[in-house]
A and B are shown apart, each in its own frame.
Chain A
Amino acid sequence: MIQAILVFNNHGKPRLVRFYQRFPEEIQQQIVRETFHLVLKRDDNICNFLEGGSLIGGSDYKLIYRHYATLYFVFCVDSSESELGILDLIQVFVETLDKCFENVCELDLIFHMDKVHYILQEVVMGGMVLETNMNEIVAQIEAQNRLEKSEVNRVLLCRPG
């Protein structure tokens, strides 16, 4: 099971935080900080797996992460998940973001925080993989967009230039 999905930038600013196991708010913040410090000190091009920190820790938990340009995508998972599978899942999530936002960048995550959550919800649900087929995910998001457009026909939602 995925316990948490954390996305933060190279300075540790959180850009997307989703917990699938309940932690009090201040612990959530600590987990984000601790995880950031754990991955920050690692070089690129080394292993994408490491043991978690003290808060979501123990040998049963792992952090699986990928670093894309300015952003770290970190999935904290327990031993019931396949490490390489999760690594690919991160890739699917990012590729989907890229399709939905056309060349996604950090600002998209800030300006469209709600949308990013909705995309994530199509991929992961309650800590489990929901859908891995990118076409299916994008189709769902497009369906949502159409619904939205029909409701808010005056306000056009498009990416900021």
Chain B
Amino acid sequence: MLVQFFQRTHYSLLLLGKSKEAEIKRINKELANIRSKFKGDKALDGYSKKKYVCKLLFIFLLGHDIDFGHMEAVNLLSSNRYTEKQIGYLFISVLVNSNSELIRLINNAIKNDLASRNPTFMGLALHCIASVGSREMAEAFAGEIPKVLVAGDTMDSVKQSAALCLLRLYRTSPDLVPMGDWTSRVVHLLNDQHLGVVTAATSLITTLAQKNPEEFKTSVSLAVSRLSRIVTSASTDLQDYTYYFVPAPWLSVKLLRLLQCYPPPEDPAVRGRLTECLETILNKAQEPPKSKKVQHSNAKNAVLFEAISLIIHHDSEPNLLVRACNQLGQFLQHRETNLRYLALESMCTLASSEFSHEAVKTHIETVINALKTERDVSVRQRAVDLLYAMCDRSNAPQIVAEMLSYLETADYSIREEIVLKVAILAEKYAVDYTWYVDTILNLIRIAGDYVSEEVWYRVIQIVINRDDVQGYAAKTVFEALQAPACHENLVKVGGYILGEFGNLIAGDPRSSPLIQFNLLHSKFHLCSVPTRALLLSTYIKFVNLFPEVKPTIQDVLRSDSQLRNADVELQQRAVEYLRLSTVASTDILATVLEEMPPFPERESSILAKLKKKKGPSTVTDLEDTKRERSVDVNGGPEPAPASTSAMSTPSPSADLLGLGAAPPAPAGPPPSSGGGGLLVDVFSDSASVVAPLAPGSEDNFARFVCKNNGVLFENQLLQIGLKSEFRQNLGRMFIFYGNKTSTQFLNFTPTLICSDELQPNLNLQTKPVDPTVEGGAQVQQVVNIECVSDFTEAPVLNIQFRYGGTFQNVSVQLPITLNKFFQPTEMASQDFFQRWKQLSNPQQEVQNIFKAKHPMDTEVTKAKIIGFGSALLEEVDPNPANFVGAGIIHTKTTQIGCLLRLEPNLQAQMYRLTLRTSKEAVSQRLCELLSAQF
């Protein structure tokens, strides 16, 4: 009967699936039928309920929304029949629902099954928790599951499930899974008889150890001895866990991953044993295969690649590193595509190790060959990544040339990334800037459509900052522009560079001013509005550079197609430039249209873009890049400070000309995305419009300086709550968005915005949240925070969504402040004053005297200083009324010791706050933050 039912229903669904309309019609009928059965007067028996729930699952699989049946599924959970319970749990696991009433019922059923001591039922319940993994479930069960996991009488299969279930809850709600006595017993599961239990426990420990390395330190030696037993055993010892002649490959992989959470073991015995394991694994790779089946080589190589990852991670045994590199070199030429792919990928990480960078470089020809001959874009992409990683000054010309030539035929999906990489390498390793200019112009010629603004802005920045390349650049763009068809990006670069430095080539009769102008103007009509606006600025610059072409240019500006252009920007520029060229004296023209000042040096916007594209972790050599660039680009002297050009702000001289109320249009290249001239644009990401900070956000922000949890923002629609925790230079923030209305929020998109200043110093990582927030519901977003270096600004959280018909846009400052990375330091009075004296350099001290804004209560003040993150040192200051604190700010790059002293003056209702740290900016910022608290 059951079989017939399945055949009939599913087949009919299948056959009708040929026409979409027919399928939908058939399914709607089926849904109506099920709905009426559920709503009917006749109570359904367990079997029918099971049948209909199963049908709903199938309809859901086909891609149709299911908005009912949850209650029936929940009813099945409390059935005593295994099969009914099983399908009930399956439905709930697949069609997760956030209805809180239902969740209460589900949790109740789970609680009963967990307490049932029936291993089958317990397994089902644990599966359901692991599938749904919601915060509510974590609240209900995070305390219970560790007990199940470590209880002596728990069956192996339940232990396995409990370990993974706990892992899932830890991932969604780490704050709800407190470490405790159970952790040491979990570590001992690594010695369990049952390899399935060991595998599950290893997964769990690996995740927990990343955040709590101390707690799980003992797992290292246990993991090593377990691994050693697997690797050295004859494969028959492990019976069922031998997979195609490879002993326990998954467990080996997991153990090797776990070891990657830690530095090389300190105990020489453990370390020796591990080295022996790794050598054995490398040796086995050279043995003839025990089977011709691909599964055998897959399993064997899975272990091998993980071993190589561990070797690279430890980065301490040159001998092993070189062997790893040779092994990967072999794989680069292997006939299995998968192995070539993985070898390229692993080599990328190997290239950053100082021991093996040279060894990796020897494979350059193979990698270039892979770029040219691989059939698979995934593999070619990895080859590009590896070339990028192995590039240094010695091979940059070759690698850049190969990447450029590959670009001509590259897959569209990876062109933009290659363009960015070529641009970065060309800049980073340019010894000769003419090479750099050639490379970028080639990039534009070959892949103009994929050259983003950042790339062409950057070439202009560099040409402007380096006067030895300006003449060459002018000559080269002039020649490039002579091609009958050239990319608009080339017109932009050409227009800008000739506008600044056209005079350097004007002596040659082949590139006289008039020829330069005619060349540019011949492209004018084919260009988009922003480019034409840029060209108009070039023309006015020509008026200044070359008085002889002034009449020609005035004619062009005066023509109807400019003066009456439908585009406001073009029209305004034409009017103003024409007027400027007529009224202004040569001196004024020369001042207003003076050459652009050098750009302040800072992180390359291209690098920032690549990081954004690939995630910060993949752009590994950031520090390196920064260092090299500041040497390369600036040569010796520091560049001029960020001065605003005479052209980009309404200058007094312009006002004197009486050009009218409208501010003069910038003569630099036009705004690319509205607002601001080039100077602004180059440095600011042209993000979509972000709302100004919400009123009151400053006050709220200040409240979070000394505490981590609370409500950050609230209006009639939305409430934003925060919960955060920080440890050393890392932190994690849970942002809770509550929909206070009964209507859905749609397109709900919170965005974290770090200014360019902040970005290199603070890493924020998060995942997008569900774009729909149901009425009354709360969604959670986790932000992982890494403090790379000290910082001043706070990131901004922008939230955009649709409520009813209206678009909502809210911005608040996110209270991630430098003091969050404080670790308190206790010290005695003598030590304190000794250090205090050591930090007596005037730049190291910042002092602020200010009026108390709150009642001067000693206990409150103490709590605030502790909340601020420093230790509160008692009996240190000779004056007991004063407060003294000490701590260390942890950043990824450095640690900064901080001392503080707060002296209240009750009579005057004033405070004097003094901060001493080794870094001026840190003293300054901490003083600002803390002063606002009293």
A residues adjacent to B (C-beta < 8 A): 1, 13-18, 20, 22-25, 27, 29, 32, 42-43, 45-51, 58-60, 80, 82-85, 87-89, 91-92, 110-114, 117-118, 121, 125-136, 140, 143-144, 147-148, 151-152, 155, 157-158, 160
Contact = CB atoms under 8 A, between A and B. Distances in A.
Contacts of A110: 10, 14, 58
B875 interface: no
A46 B17 CA distance: 32
Interface in B430-468: none
B131 A87 contact: no
B901 to A, nearest CB: 45
Contacts of B295: 88, 91
Q: Which 3 A-B pairs have the closest CB atoms?
A: A126-B130, A84-B302, A126-B168
A84 B307 CA distance: 13
Contacts of A127: 130, 168
Contacts of B130: 125-127
A95 to B, nearest CB: 9
B705 interface: no
Contact of A47 (B127, B160, B378): B378
A41 B231 CA distance: 40
B40 to A, nearest CB: 23
Interface stretch (B86-94, B398-406, B571-579, B840-848): B86-94
A56 to B, nearest CB: 10
A96 to B, nearest CB: 13
Given A84-B299, A157-B3, A48 B200 contact: no
B211 interface: no
B6 A88 contact: no
Contacts of A130: 160-161, 164, 196, 200
B253 A82 contact: yes
Nearest to A1: B171
A17 B51 CA distance: 20
A144 B10 CA distance: 23
Contact of B298 (A16, A88, A129, A135): A88
16 contacts: A13-B17, A22-B96, A24-B771, A47-B376, A50-B377, A80-B257, A110-B58, A117-B94, A126-B129, A126-B133, A127-B130, A130-B160, A130-B161, A130-B196, A131-B160, A133-B195
Given A83-B342, A132-B250, 17 more contacts: A27-B771, A59-B615, A82-B302, A82-B306, A87-B302, A88-B250, A91-B295, A91-B298, A111-B6, A114-B90, A117-B94, A126-B133, A128-B168, A136-B196, A151-B83, A152-B83, A158-B3
Given A121-B127, A129-B250, A132-B243, A58 B165 contact: no
Interface in B502-552: none
Contacts of B171: 1
Nearest to A17: B61
A104 B321 CA distance: 45
A128 B532 CA distance: 56
Given A49-B341, A160-B3, A18 B94 contact: yes
Contacts of A140: 157
Interface-centre pick from A84, A87, A91, A127 (highest chain B CB count, 10 A): A84
A45 B83 CA distance: 41
B90 A117 contact: yes
B257 A128 contact: no
A78 B421 CA distance: 24
Interface in B227-257: 240-241, 243, 249-250, 253, 257
Interface in B23-48: 47
Contact of B131 (A50, A89, A126, A144): A126
Which secondary structure dominates where chain A touches chain B? mixed
A84 B167 contact: no
Contacts of A131: 160, 196, 199
A64 B640 CA distance: 52
B54 interface: yes
Given A113-B58, A126-B130, A130-B200, A87 B165 contact: no
B82 A151 contact: yes
B894 interface: no
Contacts of A113: 54, 57-58, 61
A155 B250 contact: no
B381 interface: yes
Contacts of B771: 24, 27
Contacts of B243: 88, 92, 132
Contacts of A46: 337, 375-376, 378-379
A35 B581 CA distance: 59
Contacts of B772: 24
Interface in B766-807: 770-772
A35 to B, nearest CB: 14
B686 interface: no
Nearest to B195: A133
Interface-centre pick from A43, A130, A143 (highest chain B CB count, 10 A): A130
Contact of B1 (A47, A84, A155): A155
A116 to B, nearest CB: 10
Contacts of B6: 111-112, 160
A16 B94 CA distance: 11
Contacts of B127: 121, 125-126
B338 A87 contact: yes
Contacts of A29: 63
A45 B376 CA distance: 10
Given A24-B772, A151-B83, A88 B249 contact: yes
A88 B241 CA distance: 13
Contacts of A25: 60, 65
Contacts of B301: 84
Given A47-B337, A140-B157, A148-B82, A129 B133 contact: no
Interface string B286-325: 0000000001001101100110000000000000000000
Contact of A135 (B81, B206, B240): B240
Contacts of A129: 199, 203, 250
Nearest to B131: A126
Interface in B595-627: 614-615, 617-618
A83 B331 CA distance: 15
B54 A114 contact: yes
Interface string B344-379: 000000000000000000000000000000011111
Contacts of A88: 243, 249-250, 295, 298-299, 302
B62 interface: yes
A53 to B, nearest CB: 11
Interface in B490-509: none
A111 B63 CA distance: 17
Nearest to B65: A25
Given A110-B10, A147-B83, A84 B338 contact: yes
Contacts of B341: 47, 49
Nearest to B376: A46
Nearest to A25: B65
Contacts of B90: 114, 117-118
Contact of A114 (B62, B87, B342, B377): B87
Contacts of B57: 113-114
A10 B587 CA distance: 74
Contacts of B377: 50
B7 interface: yes
B697 interface: no
Interface in B177-221: 195-196, 199-200, 203, 206
A82 B305 contact: yes
B45 to A, nearest CB: 12
Contacts of A1: 171
Nearest to B340: A47
A55 to B, nearest CB: 9
Contact of A50 (B1, B2, B167, B378): B378
Contacts of B562: none
Nearest to A124: B164
A32 B60 CA distance: 13
A88 B245 CA distance: 13
